[in-house]
C-alpha cells in the first residue's frame, strides 16, 4: 500500500457536484493498494498513520499525533499511485489491485482508522471525484508498506 498523507486545514471530495466527504483539521490521505497487499499492510499503515507526529505542540514543534489534536481523516482510494511510467508515455496500472481485492482492503483501512477513534470521511471507490484541500504547512508524507 502507498499512502500520500497531507496535513490539511480543510479538505473535501465531491462527486457530481455533491460533497460526499469533508473535514477540517487533519489528514487527507490518497491510498493506493497493490495487487499483493493484505491485512498486515492495512494494520501497519493504520498504526503508522495514527501515531504519526506531524501536528504542532504548544512549542510549535511537530510532536503531536492526529489523535492528540482530535483531527479527522479524508480517505480517498487512488489506484494511480501504482502507475508504471518507465516505458512510453501511457501509464500502466498493472501493479494496482483489482477492485475485488482493493475494495475490501480500502474499507478495512477506513474501519481500522475509525477503531482508533479517528473520524473518517471517504470518497467513493472507483468514482470520478474532485478533491479540494488546503495543505497545512505544507506537510506531505508518503508511506509505502512495501518499503518497511
pTM of the model: 0.95
Give me the half-sphere count of Cα atoms (radius 13 Å) on the Cβ side of residue 14.
8
The mean pLDDT of the chain is: 97
Q: What is the pLDDT of residues 12-49, one digit of tens each?
A: 999 999 999 999 999 999 999 999 999 999 999 999 99
Catalytic residues: 78-80
Distance separating alpha carbons of residues 133 and 6, to the nearest angstrom: 9
Architecture of domain 2-134: 3-Layer(bba) Sandwich (3.50)
Domain-wise residue ranges, the chain? 2-134
Q: DSSP letters along 6-53, please?
A: EEEEEEEEEETTEEEEEESSEEEEEEE-BTT--HHHHHHHHHHHHH--
Q: What is the pLDDT of residues 109-133, one digit of tens each?
A: 999 999 999 999 999 999 999 999 9
Q: What is the pLDDT of residues 66-118, one digit of tens each?
A: 999 999 999 999 999 999 999 999 999 999 999 999 999 999 999 999 999 99
pLDDT of residue 41: 98
Amino acid at each position: 500500500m502507498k499512502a500520500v498523507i497531507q496535513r490539511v486545514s480543510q479538505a473535501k471530495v465531491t462527486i457530481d457536484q455533491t460533497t460526499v466527504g469533508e473535514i477540517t483539521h487533519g489528514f487527507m490521505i490518497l491510498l493506493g493498494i497493490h495487487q499483493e497487499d493484505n491485512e498486515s499492510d492495512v494494520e501497519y499503515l493504520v498504526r503508522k498513520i495514527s501515531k504519526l507526529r506531524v501536528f504542532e505542540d504548544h512549542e510549535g514543534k511537530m510532536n503531536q499525533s492526529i489523535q492528540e489534536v482530535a483531527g479527522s481523516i479524508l480517505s480517498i482510494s487512488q489506484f494511480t499511485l501504482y502507475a508504471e511510467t518507465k516505458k512510453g508515455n501511457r501509464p500502466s496500472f498493472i501493479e494496482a489491485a483489482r477492485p475485488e481485492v482493493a475494495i475490501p482492503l480500502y474499507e478495512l483501512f477506513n474501519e481500522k482508522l475509525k477503531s482508533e477513534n479517528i473520524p473518517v470521511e471517504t470518497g467513493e471507490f472507483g468514482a470520478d471525484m474532485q478533491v479540494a484541500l488546503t495543505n497545512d504547512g505544507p506537510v506531505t508524507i508518503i508511506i509505502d508498506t512495501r518499503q518497511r
